[in-house]
Amino acid sequence: MAVSDRFKSAAASRTLDIDSADKDNDLGAVEYVEDMYSFYKEVEQASDVYADTY
């Protein structure tokens, strides 16, 4: 195992999985859909591609 793989593995073992309680809940994301779309709408203009930039 490479050093970087061991580092990633060690970091992953210390990472708290905040979604573990909902891993079997297929509808868990439904609670966050409005928040996700609000965020996407806010950042959408920052990632626009303009035709005249090429």
- For residues 1 and 21, the model is more confident at 21
Q: Residue-wise over 10-41: b if at least 16 C-beta within 10 A, else e? A: eeeeeeeeeeeeeeeeeeeeeeeeeeeeeeee
Q: What is the DSSP letter of 52?
A: G
pLDDT in tens, 4-45: 666 667 666 778 888 888 889 888 888 889 999 999 998 888
- Give the C-alpha distances (Å, rounded to integers) separating 53 from 26, 43, 44: 41, 19, 17
Q: Report yes or no on whether pTM surpasses 0.95.
A: no
